[in-house]
Amino acid sequence: MDVQDVFRFEMMEANKPDFIKKYTAIEYSSKLNVKKLKIAPGGSAANVASNLSNLGMSTAYIGKLGDDFFGQISKNDLKDTGVDIDGCLFTKEDHTGVSVILITPFGKDRSILSYKGANDLIRPEEIKPEWVTRAKNLQWTSLTSDSGVASIEKCIDIVKTTQKGMVFACPSISIIKNNLEGAKKLVSKSDVLTLNKEEIQELTGDNHVTDAMKTVLDMGPQMVACTDGSEGAYFTDGSIFIKSKVYDVDVVDSTGAGDAFASGVILGIIKGVHMEYVVKMGAAVAAFECSELGVRDGIPHDFRKLEKFIEEKKIEITTEQITM
């Protein structure tokens, strides 16, 4: 949505003179018109599954949707993208999770109102082991309820014991703020963690990214990638530290950029490319996603197009050998 006539406030946070918080505010008991409306399927797990499917990987989705209009749209979209939906559950207990994304004329970033809905109602006993054993690797995203966390943990344990595959953690701020202990438990069982600066600071309690990344490695993961908006991204496996800028593209909408970056990182690690190229793949998929309005629309449907983009476009990357 492109919201017009919305007030933006910038407030200096106490004792932090270099930090400015921005607020989107709507006057109480008022009505505003929006310039444009777009309805599109989303959700982090669905985004990553669709992104990777578009880029040539076989993917499947496990999750719970409401037995409603939005649930059917989401299911059909996943199916049309080539994602296996055998693990897609439906319920009448609640509505499909919905997010209202507000984009203002002040910048290309956005504010999100999120309703988890049916997502959090999934239970471990509903998950059939064969849904998980078909896959070599697992990626999990945010479910904030205890049953949701237990469901993810069941999937992780199946992958670890039967497939010996990798577990990619992509928690959002939702699980970190609403179920921190659950988030830490799941992260400790994961091999690769991908999240943004706000999330890693909230997860670890460390204000500095490098300190937070070291804390994460001590929790269990072997690798961690952290995005920092237009500033770029950081990546480490404990022996090297990579700092990457972003690709120079015309940003239309940054919604879904984190999921796109995670998709590129997952793809690169599974393909076994070197770490700098992993970061380039993450940044490149994010650049494609930001070039169009929506959460998946800009993702290429041809891996060769991604490779060509990385080959032709330059990006500033620095790599340091470290001891963490």
Q: What is the pLDDT of residues 185-230, one digit of tens each?
A: 999 999 999 999 999 999 999 999 999 999 999 999 999 999 999 9
Cα-based angle 315, 320, 322 (whole degrees, multiple of 5): 150
The DSSP result for 202-235, as a single string, is: HHH--SSHHHHHHHHHHHS-SEEEEE-GGG-EEE
Q: How far apart are CA 139 and CA 277, in angstroms?
A: 20
Lowest mean pLDDT among 1-5, 44-48, 137-141, 186-190: 1-5
C-alpha 311/C-alpha 291 separation (Å) is 18
Global pTM exceeds 0.85: yes
Domain ranges of the chain: 41-99+117-321
pLDDT of 2 > 50? The answer is no
Specify whether the CB–CB gap between 78 and 85 falls below 8 A. Answer: yes
pLDDT average, residue stretch 265-291: 96
- Min mean pLDDT across 12-21, 150-159, 180-189, 282-291 is at 12-21
Region 127-145 average pLDDT = 94
Tell which wins on pLDDT, 14 or 276: 276
99 pLDDT band, cuts 50/70/90, is: confident
- The pLDDT of residue 260 is above 70: yes
CB neighbours of residue 139 within 10 Å:
23
On average, the pLDDT of the chain sits at 89
More confident residue, 220 or 321: 220
Query: Is the pLDDT reported for residue 119 higher than 60?
Result: yes
Looking at per-residue confidence, does 231 or 11 come out higher? 231
Residue 255 tokens, joined: 């919604």
pLDDT higher than 70, residue 107: no
Distance, CA of 151 to CA of 155 (rounded, Å): 7
Count the residues in the chain. Answer: 324
Give CA–CA dist 57/270, Å, rounded. Answer: 10
Paired sense of beta strands 240-244 and 7-12, if any = unpaired
Tokens of 5: 């006539």
The more confidently predicted of residues 18 and 278 is: 278
Instruction: Calculate what percentage of the chain has a pLDDT beyond 70.
Output: 91
pLDDT at 18: 53
pLDDT number for residue 186: 98
Q: What is the pLDDT of residue 272?
A: 95
Q: Considering the domain 41-99+117-321, what is its CATH architecture? A: 3-Layer(aba) Sandwich (3.40)
pLDDT for 125 beyond 50: yes
Distance of CA 24 to the CA centre of its chain: 23
pLDDT bracket for residue 8 (50, 70, 90): very low
In percent, how much of the chain has pLDDT > 90?
72
Considering only 45-59, 70-84, 167-181, 292-306, which range has the smallest mean pLDDT?
A: 292-306
Angle between helices 197-204 and 209-219 (to 10 degrees): 60
Q: Tell me how many degrees the CA angle 288-294-296 measures, rounded to the nearest 5.
A: 55
Model confidence band, residue 109 (pLDDT cutoffs 50, 70, 90): low
Taking only the tens place, the pLDDT of each residue in 240-249 is 999 999 999 9
Q: Confidence class of residue 1 from pLDDT cuts 50, 70 and 90?
A: very low
Q: How confident is the model at residue 48 (pLDDT cuts 50, 70, 90)?
A: very high
| Virtual torsion, Cα 228, 232, 238, 239, nearest 10 deg | -160
Which residue in this structure is represented by tokens 């496996």?
Answer: 237
Positive or negative, the Cα torsion across 9, 15, 17, 18? negative
Per-residue confidence (pLDDT) for residue 29, from 0 to 100: 86
Quick one: CA dihedral 210, 216, 218, 223, positive or negative? negative
Q: Give the other-Cβ count within 10 Å of 170's Cβ.
A: 26
State the angle between helix axes of 275-290 and 303-312 in degrees (0 to 180), rounded to the nearest 10: 100
